[in-house]
């Protein structure tokens, strides 16, 4: 890593690092996949791939897909958060690639939470 000599150097590093946590940029809707070691071991890579594939298959372009590290709920990995503007953030747990299509169709597109997969919600 180069030495930071001034504010412009820091801004350049910030811009270059944006892509490290963003698998896909998009609109105000957001999907966040837990990609800590625990999440990856539980299948988060496959879930992330399924999410990106499903969004492309449906032609959905206004959804950002990001990754995050461990949040301390390893027993529920893989974790997927859905954020829709003006609605509570919903965390889904123990997600498998085959769950992705339903979560995107029901929650991301139609706004209906898939309750049997929910492990948390922020109101």
For residues 54 and 100, is the Cβ–Cβ distance under 8 A?
Answer: yes
* Model confidence at 80: pLDDT above 70: yes
- pLDDT tens for 30-47 read 999 999 999 999 999 999
* Averaged pLDDT of the chain: 86
Write out the two tokens for 117. Answer: 């997969």
| Domains of the chain, earliest start first | 25-119 (3.40.30.10)
């Amino acid at each position: 890593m180069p030495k930071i000599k001034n504010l412009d150097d820091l801004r350049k590093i910030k811009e270059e690092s944006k892509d490290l946590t963003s698998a896909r940029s998009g609109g105000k809707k957001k999907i966040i996949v837990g990609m800590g070691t625990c999440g990856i071991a539980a299948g988060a890579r496959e879930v992330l791939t399924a999410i990106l594939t499903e969004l492309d298959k449906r032609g959905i372009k206004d959804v950002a897909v990001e990754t995050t590290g461990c949040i301390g709920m390893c027993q529920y990995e893989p974790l997927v958060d859905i954020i829709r503007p003006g609605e509570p953030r919903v965390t889904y747990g123990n997600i498998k690639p085959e769950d992705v299509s339903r979560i995107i169709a029901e929650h991301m597109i139609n706004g209906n939470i898939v309750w049997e997969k929910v492990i948390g919600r922020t109101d």
